[in-house]
Structure 1
């Protein structure tokens, strides 16, 4: 195709609008897309602009085939699996890139912009926050403006294209709200798995000295918890997520699941765990909104159960999700007091072995101390009291503990005696196991900030905490928090109170010390919480509840009466308005008469040219058809007097002249 033909099909303004729309929807995706794909899109845009300038030619079939092959190969090498969000979004971006190198006709432009709408929707696959929603609306405005710019001469002017886009979206808002409320809710698109390896945040599947102290530097939200009924006191707010059973001398990790209720098997099968629950009612009922962690474990109080789809309970009193939590997740939980179990089931030999496991060597002084406690014939509770008493009298709670060497437990217990929660939990569990008491480390969050205005508990990353559990034959698993023996204010009042001098020292802006900024931050979190509760988590259950409140009974007839009739009336009003507005401003009688004259002349092949003055038009008629020229001159003179001099007599004369003027008869 010749360059002149390309120019006539897609002018420069149309191309620039298309590229602007593509850039708008791709910009927030650059963090998810591979670098080579971003470069490929930029290269394709540059290629198409050079073609417009006449410097390069459109690619041939062999070049297109080579580009497609390279793009597919790049996607295959970049992503481990295709059925995931990132490769799907990348595939749309590749479609943009490949379409740009053959962007020739108006049809190609429309197809490219349709792809832009789809890619704009994928913004909400990764994030459903308010800033992303605002940016998503901006993208739709730009894409719609680019679509309007393809309609012809003058439509590409920024003011006109953006104005038309804004009007169209404003007119669509009532329909959007109606569909949001009335259309049956489907499963969210973001339930598709993501390639999120290496992107996990928050608490990990293992613990070494220093891990939790690093989390104490982050004030990002982790959980928001709203209660249906009573709220647990601060000293009971232990949001457990992981249980570490295996110790290699320095690192604590989960180890293998003990039985069919284990996390690994439940996560693989995706089946709902069925386990007996106490006859006594649950102590707490609440909803947890968990921020993306890209890990499958969830957080709840001890002995939890959830009816939320995809959430499973484990034998270690934790909850897991069927897939890594890649976006905000809301789940309902109910928890029972552990003492509600009428009798304690003895530990199996395998579970006992796992929770007594220690390396063959290392930390000899801690082992010797534990052996001395055991030889004294103390019970498990008494040994625990002895260890906690040692912590209470000799140790210091700090966010900046000294580094530990190979025998980390010995160095902490008998040398440095300064540590964070993981140091106390690790050394406590090691000592209890060395004394023959089954014990394990539990990781999660402790505490949270109560938001009075919205009545929910805000748990941040710096609330990450590690504590211990020991097995007592008469009571089962019992929570023991060694940190509470050293710093009870950490459990009662939170980390900010327990380590006020060291808290968030490395932050650029210490919001916790600036009351005004801290209030703004809390207000913003409340807005986000309300946004999630009202919009993002508006599932089928909430929809049914809203419709029942509006209609009393959800039925097809009531839905049609409540939504269909107003929608029909609104649509009819819109059509009438469009019909009236399309006519333009009301013309004067003289102008209407003159337009009638022009239409009659057009029927005989003498149409008036765009922008042609009435006098010039009359002279052209006289030159091309003398039989009609005299009448045309007289009609034009009468029109000019009637329209510009506002002469009533001239208007009557114009009406009389038109009454007898029928050019079709005069030309036959």
Structure 2
């Protein structure tokens, strides 16, 4: 490190500043590597390495044919990758490309300023993809580095250290922090002007509105957070934490989709939701899923409130919005874990939930006939018999069941006898329909884990789950989770699915089994605070802030009024500070300036560097050696420059009083002979 420091300090200043700026650009681009094409990242690294080599060796920069050729090549690669040069992803790629190419023509200060502005703009594009605390920390580092480089560029004289420029940049950032805080708290958040643009066509890991056997296997290995839930009171048992999502009833032999009934709305199945018992009140913070779904605990009777978003419940008890959820949202809800829904008597529309595609799963159909002969028409007994078969038939829960063929239910019931929730739920529903029992699949999230630091329940993508609902006369739709018959621990609190750990995490867990869990809980609690107080600081919370300040029914005009009041107050404070600071300047120099101004008015001009002794000499030449003004000027000089032990009793306050009492002659008064 010492040799590196010596080598850097020995470089010419222009070389040092260029290398520092290239390093900052590299960090800015590195933060975006996960969101740009692979060729863009490699080419940017190559261009920066090329520019670094040219700087260290003092070689000339490439000419315009090289730059034009590279630009044309990169524009073509961007078009080939994104099929456009417009839009979010293509635009970010172009910004990275242009920033890299601009370094190849950085010859003057104005070129460096263009790079500064491009880099600052590129920092904003990071929030298009991620607004986490870790992303904000990386952007803050890049911002301070860019400010340091910008301050250094405005210090052309000498060889100021980068540490000095960093201190000045830090002071500027600290002075701007209060303004940033006030604007964050009070600037009205008026949708859709406030927020980062999303790309609704972009995919995101999460549940889908269809289910092909083998799909949820990818989700259970995803450790990303889907929901954070805060219960007002004691939470329900973990086995009752079913967060309802899409309901799938249409089956083509390979894939489940929402029902596409041919019945008119008058014959469609009504929800007929009836709840009982005490309501469970909770707050959900849901990550963006790019789909118009809200996940609520089964079953909710009241729609959660989202500002500017309409929410409604479908006949299948799924809560949906009028637009995809592209940002972090938070909503209050209440649910009843004890409920029933659906018609109590047979209905025509139930036929949609009995149909099976012809030519699929013949052995499962034969199994249904055998069960009918054994248990007759008692549907409850048939369901219990199937669950007993799952418990005692050697069926196992695994995330690696292998690839299923055409007859998925046959393979599960008779051949493989292993799978996870979607294999089990799909095979169970197929068998129920073969028994002429209306059944359907419900997808969502089940369970979760409580964070011991902040008390929030964390529901991850690996908690994605599929269960079944069967219709029974007199009871309506009844939840049946066949996975609990195969692996009870998957539903309860005994066993949760975990994503595979890295080498470092595995080594730390071997040393201390609870260390990784504790570290993750602390980090997720900090991230949750960031989400609650920063990312989810909505207009509603702004209005709550005004209520705490005494406003009865605040609105956005009150926000503007308070913001303007704060701006005016800050301006007055700034003006007062400026006046006070001016008063704190050297009062001796201020008094000398007043005397110089008076003398200039009576015909004795002087420069700013003229000392009091020279002014006294000019006064004596004009009005005689005994002039009070000359004596006062000499005492003023003595007050500042006399030795401390000279015994001079005069003070600056006394000189100020004498100055006010001096008799200043007129401009055309007769000079001394």
Asked if Structure 1 and Structure 2 have the same fold, meaning a TM-score greater than 0.5 normalized by the shorter chain, the answer is yes
1:372 match = 370
Which residue is equivalent to 2:10? none
Determine helix, strand or coil for the equivalent of 1:226: strand
Where does the alignment leave 5 or more consecutive residues of structure 1 unmatched?
1-9, 263-274, 609-613, 615-638, 653-668
Q: Matched residue of 1:192: which SS?
A: coil
| CA offset digits 1:6-37 (Å, max 9, x no partner) | xxxx9445544543443332221011112333
Q: Tell whether 2:468 aligns with 1:468.
A: yes
Matched, 1:90 2:88: no
Aligned to 2:145: 142
**Which residue pairs with 1:109 in the alignment?**
112
- SS of the residue corresponding to residue 330 of structure 1 reads strand
CA distance in 2: counterparts of 1:95 and 1:345, whole angstroms: 67
CA spacing shift, 1:323–1:431, aligned 2, 3 Å: same
Cα distance per residue 1:163-194 (max 9 Å; x no partner): 11100111111111111111101447665333
Deviations 1:125-159, CA, capped at 9 Å, x for gaps: 22222211222221221122222122132586311
2:575 & 2:17 partners in 1: Cα distance? Answer: 29
Q: Return the offset for 1:540.
A: 0.4
The reply to whether residue 299 of structure 1 matches residue 303 of structure 2 is no
Partner of 1:238: 242
User: 1:32: which partner in 2?
Assistant: 35
CA distance in 1, matches of 2:420, 2:289: 23
Matched, 1:73 2:73: no
1:64 is displaced (CA, Å) by: 5.9
Task: State how 1:506-525 maps to structure 2 within 5 Å.
Answer: 508=503, 509=505, 514-525=513-524
- 2:175 is matched with which residue? 171
Q: 1:565 to 1:423 in 2, by over 3 A?
A: closer
1:606-646, CA deviations, whole angstroms, 9 ceiling, x for partnerless residues? 999xxxxx9xxxxxxxxxxxxxxxxxxxxxxxx9xx97988
Instruction: Find the aligned partners of 1:279 and 1:381 in 2 and give their Cα distance.
Output: 21
Cα offset, 1:360, TM superposition = 0.9
The answer for the alignment partner of 1:120 in structure 2 is: 123
Q: Does 1:428 align with 2:428?
A: yes
Answer yes or no: is the 8 Å Cα contact 2:365–2:434 preserved in 1: yes
Deviations 1:274-330 (A, max 9, x none): x98869799445433234556665533345544432766444333456666665443
Deviations 1:226-256 (A, max 9, x none): 245674332321123233435455x443266
Contact 2:453 2:522 in 1 (8 A): no
* Distance (whole Å) between structure 2 residues aligned to residue 544 and residue 424 of structure 1: 48
- Residues 64-122 of structure 1 deviation map (CA, whole Å, 9 limit, x = unaligned): 66555444433322224666432232233244245434444434433332232222122
User: Contact 2:213 / 2:255 at 8 angstroms: preserved in 1?
Assistant: no
Compared CA separation, residues 233 and 178, structure 1 to 2 (3 A): same
Q: Check the 8 A contact 2:396/2:487 in 1, yes or no.
A: yes
Q: How far apart are residue 410 of structure 1 and its match?
A: 3.2
Q: TM-score, normalised by structure 2?
A: 0.72
How do 1:11-410 residues align onto structure 2 when only pairs under 5 Å count? 11-42=14-45, 45=48, 50=54, 55-56=59-60, 59-60=63-64, 67-80=70-83, 84-154=87-157, 157-187=161-191, 192-194=197-199, 197=202, 200-204=204-208, 207=211, 212=216, 215-227=219-231, 231-247=235-251, 249=253, 251-254=254-257, 257-258=260-261, 283-293=279-289, 297-302=293-298, 304=300, 305-308=303-306, 309=309, 313-320=313-320, 328-335=328-335, 339=339, 349=349, 352-353=351-352, 355-361=354-360, 363-375=361-373, 377-399=376-398, 403=402, 406=405, 407-410=407-410
- The residue aligned with 1:663 is none
Report the 3-state secondary structure (helix = DSSP H, G, I; strand = E; otherwise coil) of the residue aligned with 1:471.
strand
The alpha carbon displacement at 1:538 in A equals 0.4
User: 1:489 deviation in Å?
Assistant: 4.1
Distance 1:280 1:100, change over 3 A: same
Q: Deviations over 1:42-70 (max 9, x none)?
A: 4555676648977445644x766655544
* Corresponding residue SS for 1:493: coil
Cα gap change, 1:453 to 1:16, in 2 (>3 Å): closer
Per the alignment, in what secondary structure is the counterpart of residue 149 of structure 1?
Answer: helix
Residue 482 (structure 1) aligns with? 482
Q: 1:429/1:208 Cα in 2 relative to 1: closer, same or farther (>3 Å)?
A: same
CA distance in 1, matches of 2:471, 2:86: 44
Provide the secondary structure at the position in 2 that maps to 1:495.
Answer: coil
Q: Deviations over 1:561-603 (max 9, x none)?
A: 86656654544555666788799995998xx99xx9xxx9xxx
Q: Secondary structure at the match of 2:479?
A: strand
**In 2, Cα distance between equivalents of 1:170 and 1:533:** 24
- Cα deviation, residue 388, structure 1: 1.4
Separation (CA, whole Å) in 2 of partners of 1:427 and 1:560? 59
Instruction: Find the aligned partners of 2:189 and 2:102 in 1 and give their Cα distance.
Output: 33
On the 8 A contact 1:243/1:316 being kept in 2, the answer is yes
Alpha-carbon distance change, 301 to 557 in structure 1, aligned in 2, over 3 angstroms: closer
Deviations 1:176-219 (A, max 9, x none): 1111111101447665333875x532445555666556654554
In structure 2, C-alpha distance between the alignment counterparts of 1:182 and 1:284, rounded to whole Å: 34
CA contact (8 A) 1:463 1:494 kept: no
Kindly state the Cα deviation for residue 647 of structure 1 after the two structures are TM-superposed: 9.9
Q: Is the 8 A contact 2:275 2:338 kept in 1?
A: no
> Is the aligned partner of 1:539 residue 2:538?
yes
Judging changes above 3 Å, is the alpha-carbon distance between structure 1 residues 64 and 396 closer, same or farther for their aligned structure 2 residues?
Answer: closer
Q: Does structure 2 retain, via aligned residues, the 8 Å contact 1:209–1:422?
A: yes
Runs of at least 5 residues in structure 2 that lack an aligned partner in the other structure? 1-12, 612-636, 651-673
In the alignment, is the contact (CA less than 8 A) between 1:358 and 1:433 conserved in 2?
no
CA-CA distance at 1:492 after TM superposition: 3.0
Partner of 2:6: none
Supply the distance in 1 between the matched residues of 2:430 and 2:289 (Cα, whole angstroms).
29
The two structures, once aligned, show a CA RMSD in angstroms of 5.0
Counterpart contact for 1:302–1:318, Cα < 8 Å = no
Contact 1:48 1:103 in 2 (8 A): no
Secondary structure of the residue that 1:360 maps to in structure 2?
A: coil
- Cα separation, partners in 2 of 1:40 and 1:442, compared to 1, 3 Å: same
Contact 1:21/1:113 (<8 A) preserved: no
Q: Partners in 1 of 2:288 and 2:356 — Cα distance? A: 33
CA 1:452–1:347: 2 relative to 1, 3 Å: farther
From the superposition, tell whether residues 562 and 99 of structure 1 become closer, same or farther in structure 2 (CA, over 3 Å): same
